Every structure is written in C-alpha cells, then in structure tokens.
Amino acid sequence: MTSDKWSIEKRAPLRNDSVLKEENVPEIGCLSIVVLGASGDLAKKKTFPALFNLYRQGFLQSHEVYIFGYARTKISDEELRDRIRGYLVPSKNTVEGHEEDLTNFLQLIKYVCGSYDTEEGYQLLDKEISEHEIYRNCTEGSSRRLFYLALPPSVYPPVCKMIRKCCMNKSDLGGWTRIVVEKPFGRDLESAEQLSNQIGELFEEPQIYRIDHYLGKELVQNLLVLRFANRFFMPLWNRDNIDNIQIVFREDFGTDGRGGYFDQYGIIRDIIQNHLLQVLCLVAMEKPVSLKPEHIRDEKVKVLQSVVPIKDEEVVLGQYDGYLEDPTVPDGSYTPTFATMVLRIHNERWEGVPFILKAGKALNSRKAEIRVQFKDVPGDIFKSKKQGRNEFVIRLQPSEAMYMKLTVKQPGLKMSTVQSEMDLSYGQRYQDVTIPEAYERLILDTIRGDQQHFVRRDELKAAWEIFTPLLHRIDKGEFKSLPYKPGSRGPEESG
C-alpha cells in the first residue's frame, strides 16, 4: 500500500456502526498522542513528563510516535517546548544521556492552536496527524490515535464530539482511537451519568480510559499480588480476624491559591469518592476469575454495590481555620477540607468490619496509607494487648513501604513482650529501582489497550451512588463542617 492511500480525501468514510473492535489489535504502528489542554497545569506537570519518561525507556519510539499539543492559547511549537522543558527532569538512574534525549523528545512535539467547540481547529489537527501518518508511511491498520483530555470536564462533551467528527482513525481495517479523561467525572450521580451518556454516545466503553491516578501507584498495583499470591493473607483477610481497615490521605498544606478549584468540589469529591474508594475496592474485593480487566472490574463493582448507606453519625466533616482567607474561596463557604466516614460492606467477608476513610488538607503530616488492624489475640497470656494490635500497614506515599506490626519477645533475659516491625521499605529494598510515576504506567496502559487500571462506567455510577445523598446534604448546608487548626490531626470529634 502506498502512503497515498492515507490522504484525507481517499480515506474510507467513518463507519456509523462505529467502533473498531478493540480486542486483539496489534500495538504497533504509527502512534499519534494528542494532549488537549496542552497549555495547562496537568499537561506540563504530569502528562508531558510521563510521555518523556516513556520515551526515555524506549516505550515510545521516534520512528512511530508524534505528540500534538492542542489548546486555545496562541503559542508556537517552540513556546510549548519551552514551557514544558523545565518539567522534564531526569530521575536518579537516568541522568546519563538526558540532554540528548530531551532535545530529541521535544522535536517530536508539535502545537496546534484551536478552540474546543468548533471544527476548524480539529480539522487542522486531523490534517497534522494525517501528515504525520503519511510521513511515517503508516500502513492501513496501524494508525493509533490517543487523545488525552487534560481539560476541565465542562468541555469534555464538545471536545469528544469534535474528535468523533473530525479526528478519528478512519481506517476500516484496524488501528484505533482512544480517549483518556481525568477526574472529576461529574459532581454527583446525575451529572456523572449525564457526562457518561454524552461521551458514551460518541465512544464505546473500550475506547474510554477514565484515569484515577491512584490506580497507577506502585503499592496500589501491588494490592492484588499481595492478597492473592500470598498464602499468609488468604485465611486472615476477613471479618473473623480483622477489626477495622483505615484508608487515609493527609496533606500538610492547604489550598495554596487553588481554593477556587477545590471549593467547587471539596475533599469528598476530590479524594474520597475516587482515590480512596478505588483503594477500598482493591482491599475488599473477592479474587477475580483472572487478571483480565473485565474480571477485575466486575469484582470491584460488586464491592461498591455491597456498600450500605453511610450513616450521619459515622461522618465527621471539618474545615481548617484560615481556609476562608484564601482569596479564591467564596465568602462563607462550608466546603469540607477534611472528612472521615465509615463505609460498611454488607457481604459474607466483611459484615461488621468498619472501613474508615479519612482525608484532609492542612493536617500534621503528608501521607496516604492503608492500615489493616487485626483483632486482639484471644486468651492473651502475655498481657501484650496494651502494647497494640497486630497491624499491617501499606504506605502508598511518600516513601512506599509495607510493614507488619508484631508482638515479639523483648530481647534479653526477661520474658517480656514488645511491639516490633517486619519492614519492607522500598527505598532500602529496591535501591536501584526507579518506581515509575502513576501517569507513566497509565499512559502506557492506554497505548497497550489495557483497561485494568481504569474506572469502568458502572464502577463510576456505583461510586457516585454511595456518596451522592451525603454530598447533596452538605451542598444544601445541612451537614456542617467543624473547625480545626492547620497542622493538627483534624477536628477533635474525628478521634
């Protein structure tokens, strides 16, 4: 086939019945990655650095890939490159060759300026992509187009519509078009379903990658391995042995001038409804039939559907003193910057075990962790109870680690007990390994067509069903936030 086959006029029309079967598509050939919202914060801090790291590790090849930035801001290719250059820094094992790789990578980036809701910009974008495909002598069936929406969700519907209309891979014989969308996916059940319907009319579910970057974190990805590849945990991981499970996110800074964005959402929508709930699913789910994305996501949905309505008396909301002084926060806002709540899962494994989700800004520390607290040993002959329980802690960030708190004999002649730790700190155990950024893995998954670590539509719906009643009450001012001091552990009432 000649490259001429790929000229725009000669392309086969877009099929209405849509969508190319996503399974068994070879992941080779010409790859065009389009970052929409290329002028923004996420693009420069996360998306382009992740692409650069993939390039450096050989997952993106110069002879196949081209990267397009798209936004309304009027800048040149070189200006976009200058904006992102400072964020493309070497990691600890990749200093050598960095400058040369950086120069070569930046040459793969082109900027296209256009609006989000009219055709002109997208037609230009399509032309640029097509020229790249022709230049790379792209054979039919090997055109891959990835659209990364680093944009506010308010523009997802028009952007998806325009991509569908102007920029799809038009080959009848293969290749693909995929879109990646960022949270927040809606504000409540109704708006999320509306957004899902709008996007769902344009793209099939296998083409939509809803990113929750927590699912790209090393220790979150380790949860299934830990739980289902270790005999240790299998008999213990249930209501007979576990007293409670805490999933905690703490930040030691406030809104830092981004209060305007944060205030529209609050801590539950920003952290708990998505990141912490995804972690809960992986901690609580049953063993999937296999590692196929659909099998894993089927089990996650079952967990979400088994969560019983949240009780008011098991929720504490807080707002740190000084939040309202952020000039970008509306006067009198009662948006919570802290929340803790108990989720209860009504099934055979977890009946009676509280899952305590806690997230807050401007607290005394910065970390995200899972704490699995075991019940006390029955018939304790050592009186070790007062020293603390067995606990299994998985620290997601910073400094990835997992450790088990055990009771051991205090070394020496006396028969006394002490709490100690079996510690797997990644920084020590895997000194030569650079742990990939969440975005790096997730973008690679989108290129490979692996949806395992992305949120499926029914999962999203079930997640919103859990939180929407509470969120509506908060929005109406019926559920007040308690004040807490910056640098504290949150409101005293949260325990």
In the complex, which residues of this chain contact ligand NAP (CB under 6 A)?
37, 39-43, 45-46, 71-73, 116, 150-155, 182-184
Q: Tell the smallest beta-carbon distance from residue 40 to ligand NAP (Å).
A: 2
Smallest separation, CB 183 to ligand NAP (Å): 6
Q: Name the minimum Å distance from CB 264 to ligand NAP.
A: 10
In terms of CB distance, is 106 or 150 closer to ligand NAP? 150
Whole-angstrom CA distances from 447 to 30, 127, 145 are 11, 22, 9
For residues 364 and 489, the answer to whether their CB atoms sit within 8 Å is yes
Collapsing DSSP states into helix, strand and coil, what is residue 237? coil
State the residue number with the nearest CB to ligand NAP: 40
Cα 112 from Cα 173, distance rounded (Å): 28
Residue among 211, 145, 215, 212 nearest 181 (CA): 211
Shortest Å distance, C-beta 419 to ligand NAP: 37
Return the closest-CA partner of residue 247 out of 226, 274, 228: 274
Among residues 148 and 323, whose Cβ is nearest to ligand NAP? Answer: 148
Q: Would residue 295 show up in a list of annotated catalytic residues for this protein?
A: no
When the beta carbons of 110 and 183 are compared against ligand NAP, the nearer one is 183
Query: One of 63, 98, 213, 275 is an active-site residue; which one?
Result: 275
**Could you give the angle at the alpha carbon of 176 between the alpha carbons of 171 and 23, nearest 5°?**
115
Smallest separation, CB 162 to ligand NAP (Å)? 13
Q: What order of strands is seen across the sheet that includes strand 65-71?
A: 109-113, 65-71, 30-36, 143-149, 176-182, 208-211
286 by Cβ neighbours in 10 Å (0-12 / 13-18 / 19+) ranks as middle
Cis ω on the peptide bond leading into residue 336 (within 30° of 0)? Answer: no
66 or 116, CB closer to ligand NAP? 116
User: Which residue number, 182 or 445, has a Cβ lying nearer to ligand NAP?
Assistant: 182
Q: Which one-letter amino acid corresponds to residue 298?
A: D
In Å, how far are 44, 63, 71, 213, 435 from 52, measured between CA atoms? 11, 15, 20, 18, 15
Active-site annotation, residues: 275
